[in-house]
Amino acid sequence: MLVCTLAWGTTWFAITKQLGVVDPVVSITYRFALAAVLLFAWGAFRRESLSLNRAQHFAAFGVGLFTFAVDYSFVYWAEERVTSAVVAVVFAAMAFMNLIVFRVVFGQRAPLLAWAAAGLGVLGVALLSWEEIVTANMSSRALTGIGLTLAGVFAAAIGNVYARRAEMAGAGVVASTGWAMGYGAALLAIFAMVTGKTWAFEFTAPYILSLLHLSVVGSVIAFALYYGLARRRGYATASYISALTPPLAMFVSALFEGKSWGLYALGGVVLVLAGQVLLLRSKKAA
């Protein structure tokens, strides 16, 4: 969980280095195409089976569509409108969204402590996002960015449903994630061609280094560990990583984007961390 938190806590800022010359959809395509190749190479090096049956491919396609294509497109578009840390803190609602979606789809009954933990995460998100909304004078641009992020949260929760189905179908983490990223990259490439996106590449150190960081650390390492953790401890616990990344994302944003944070934001962090404590207690109680 610590490695995922450190990885994703820095990717929010790294995404900002992808914006500008290259269209966001094209950048995401590069990111997950490279990540898929690296995952397949890693699986081959470890002599793991990379083949999937029909049910496993269907599940991997669902993850690719909702998590790697839809979710990340919304995230990149959101970061064109609000600071990276705000996108990170809104994503803290993932744990709460997962509880709802998994209750509806799988009928999973989460302990009350888990709901309380997710509720604290949502309250923390509200406090963390409030100052951004106020300083933006409720501009349509800021609200659109936050709305896109919330849409991405929902898409990611649906993606977790398909990840759970891949697990139930017996797919390995490396093979399933590699195929999912491959499907996501292919879908994004098709979307880019249909919508007339320009296939460009920015040959600068910030763009290339951020792309490598996002592909290797933020995709290959982080998602392999995330899905492994989700299979061991459940998706509600794993998805709370999204609530733990804001403090690190806030620090990175303050350091490189000049973003200042007041008492409301600090109070939001306290609530998010308190929610994590409750969530861990709920898992022990269960």
Q: Give yes or no for residue 286 having a pLDDT over 50.
A: no
Q: Give yes or no for residue 133 having a pLDDT over 60.
A: no
Reading phi first (left if > 0) and then psi (alpha if -120 to 50, else beta), residue 110 is in beta
Spatial contact of 141 and 122, defined as CB atoms under 8 Å apart: no
Residues of the chain with pLDDT > 90: what percent? 45
- Return the pLDDT at 285: 47
- Return the pLDDT at 109: 74
**Mean pLDDT to the nearest integer, 197-223:** 95
**Mean pLDDT to the nearest integer, 149-166:** 93
pLDDT in tens, 64-111: 999 999 999 998 888 888 776 677 777 777 777 887 888 888 887 767
Spatial contact of 116 and 52, defined as CB atoms under 8 Å apart: no
Measure CA of the first residue to CA of the last residue in the chain; give whole Å.
Answer: 20
| Longest alpha-carbon distance in the chain | 55
Q: Give yes or no for residue 186 having a pLDDT over 90.
A: yes
**Mean pLDDT to the nearest integer, 182-197:** 96
Residue carrying structure tokens 């900002």: 16
User: Which residues are within 8 A (CB) of 97 and not within 5 positions of it... i.e. 6 or more apart?
Assistant: 153, 154, 156, 157, 239
The whole-chain average pLDDT of the chain stands at 84
What does the block give as tokens for 197?
């996106």
Range among 8-22, 201-215, 270-284 with highest mean pLDDT value: 201-215
Q: Report the number of distinct structural domains present in the chain.
A: 1
66 residue type, one letter:
F
Residue carrying structure tokens 């269907």: 58
- Return the pLDDT at 271: 79
pLDDT in tens, 212-263: 999 999 999 999 998 998 888 777 666 667 666 766 767 766 776 666 667 7
Residue carrying structure tokens 């997950």: 32
**Mean pLDDT to the nearest integer, 10-29:** 89
Element (H, E) at 285: helix 263-285
| Parent domain of 131 | 2-285
- Return the pLDDT at 6: 77
